[in-house]
């Protein structure tokens, strides 16, 4: 007997196809935030690790230099910063030898320090064109959309950095607003951190691109705070914002008004009033490295008073409950 069955299968109707597409779209919409959160968490971990390395490098530097931390800028034998001769390097250069970057470190010119006790580092012509142009993963926070390739600006092909050093620790805020000398600090583990190393910020985050169109550069010599990888530039009492040396406008920020901001790159780079303010790069959280070698995430809801207490190493001001 002949089989009279026919194939009952048919293609999806238009309605069924639209339903399938809608279901896939919903699944993608649900999955995308989860993926973004995973990426953000990974970026924060990488940033934390970078800051951890910098903080521990300070500890190792101190161990090798009789308890001293490196200065923000080293004034060198001449006492000045920039006189047309090779430029004086700063804290991130001094730490290279302690973050497994000996090859980069060796490209900077070493000279005898004015005190005869420490080695000063100058950016020679070779250092400016070669070492200072090296883009280091250590200096990049993955959450900074302005970092780009890391080679953003030059003469000298200076490489960028997302991390800034605390002027209140590495500089010399008690010298006054004297641009030629006040960043040549002399921090020491045994005397500088009277408020406690675990209560004092060493390094914070910021966008690489700064208000006014300049960039933070990790090896930049000391002739303009507009490029200087530092924050909290002013007196320790938090009452005077130093202004000299900000070639592209703006001023230093101290006291409660020095609190980091949580804004978009467009807002930050378009407002000169944000110069010298760090930026929270991780969904409202600022990663900071502390004097004891640890890293802490600070919520953007922290008060300016507590923030400033954490910036000053020896003012005797207690941290608030929002720390």
Beta bridge partners of 119: 112
pLDDT (0 to 100) of residue 79: 41
pLDDT (0 to 100) of residue 149: 84
User: What is the distance in angstroms between the CA of the first residue and the CA of the last residue of the chain?
Assistant: 88
pLDDT (0 to 100) of residue 109: 59
CA-based torsion, 16, 17, 21, 22: positive or negative: negative
Q: Where are the extended beta strands (E) located within the chain? A: 87-88, 109-112, 119-123, 163-166, 201-205, 230-231, 285-290, 295-299
- Return per-residue pLDDT of the chain as tens, 323 residues: 555 555 555 666 877 778 888 888 887 777 766 666 667 678 888 999 999 999 999 999 999 999 999 988 865 444 444 444 445 567 898 899 899 988 888 777 554 443 333 344 555 444 445 667 788 999 999 999 999 888 766 545 678 899 999 999 999 899 888 776 677 788 999 999 999 999 999 999 999 998 887 888 888 766 678 788 899 999 999 999 998 878 777 889 999 999 999 999 999 999 999 999 999 999 889 999 999 999 999 998 999 999 999 999 999 998 989 99
| Residues of the chain by 3-state class (helix, strand, coil), percent to 5 | 30, 15, 55
d(CA 100, CA 78): 30
pLDDT (0 to 100) of residue 28: 76
Beta bridge partners of 209: 215
Q: What are the residues whose beta carbons fall under 8 Å from the beta carbon of 254, sequence distance 6 or more? A: 168, 232, 233, 234, 235, 238, 239, 240, 241, 308
What residue spans define the domains of the chain? Answer: 15-311
Question: Can you read off the two tokens belonging to residue 59?
Answer: 């500890």
Using alpha carbons only, what angle is made at residue 75 by residues 73 and 76, rounded to the nearest 5 degrees? Answer: 125
pLDDT (0 to 100) of residue 59: 95
Kindly report the backbone phi and psi dihedral angles of residue 51, in degrees, each rounded to the nearest multiple of 5, phi listed first. -65, -35
d(CA 282, CA 317): 27
Beta bridge partners of 298: 286
Element (H or E) spanning 33, and its range?
Answer: helix 14-64
């Amino acid at each position: 007997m002949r089989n009279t069955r026919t194939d009952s299968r048919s293609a999806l109707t238009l309605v069924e196809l639209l339903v399938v597409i809608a279901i896939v779209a919903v699944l993608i919409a649900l999955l995308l935030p989860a993926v973004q959160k995973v990426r953000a968490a990974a970026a924060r971990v990488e940033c934390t690790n970078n800051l951890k390395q910098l903080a521990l490098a300070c500890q190792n530097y101190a161990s090798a230099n009789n308890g001293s931390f490196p200065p923000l800028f080293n004034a060198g034998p001449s006492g000045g910063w920039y006189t047309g001769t090779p430029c004086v390097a700063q804290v991130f250069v001094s730490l290279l030898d302690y973050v497994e970057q000996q090859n980069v470190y060796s490209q900077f010119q070493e000279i005898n320090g004015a005190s005869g006790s420490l080695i000063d580092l100058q950016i020679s012509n070779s250092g400016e064109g070669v070492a200072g142009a090296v883009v280091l993963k250590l200096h990049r926070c993955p959450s900074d959309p302005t970092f780009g390739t890391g080679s953003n600006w030059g003469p000298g092909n200076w490489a960028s950095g997302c991390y800034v050093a605390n002027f209140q620790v590495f500089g010399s805020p008690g010298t006054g607003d004297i641009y030629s000398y006040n960043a040549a600090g002399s921090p020491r583990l045994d005397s500088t951190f009277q408020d406690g190393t675990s209560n004092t910020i060493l390094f914070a985050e910021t966008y690489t691109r700064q208000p006014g169109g300049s960039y933070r550069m990790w090896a930049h010599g000391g002739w303009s705070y507009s490029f200087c990888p530092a924050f909290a530039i002013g007196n320790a009492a938090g009452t005077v914002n130093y202004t000299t040396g900000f070639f592209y406008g703006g001023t230093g920020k101290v006291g409660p008004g020095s609190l980091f901001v949580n804004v978009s790159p467009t807002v930050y780079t378009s407002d000169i009033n944000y110069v010298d303010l760090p930026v929270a790069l991780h969904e409202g959280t600022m990663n900071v490295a502390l004097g004891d070698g640890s890293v802490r995430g600070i919520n953007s809801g922290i008060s300016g008073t507590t923030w400033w207490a954490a910036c000053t190493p020896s003012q005797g001001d207690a941290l608030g409950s929002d720390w």
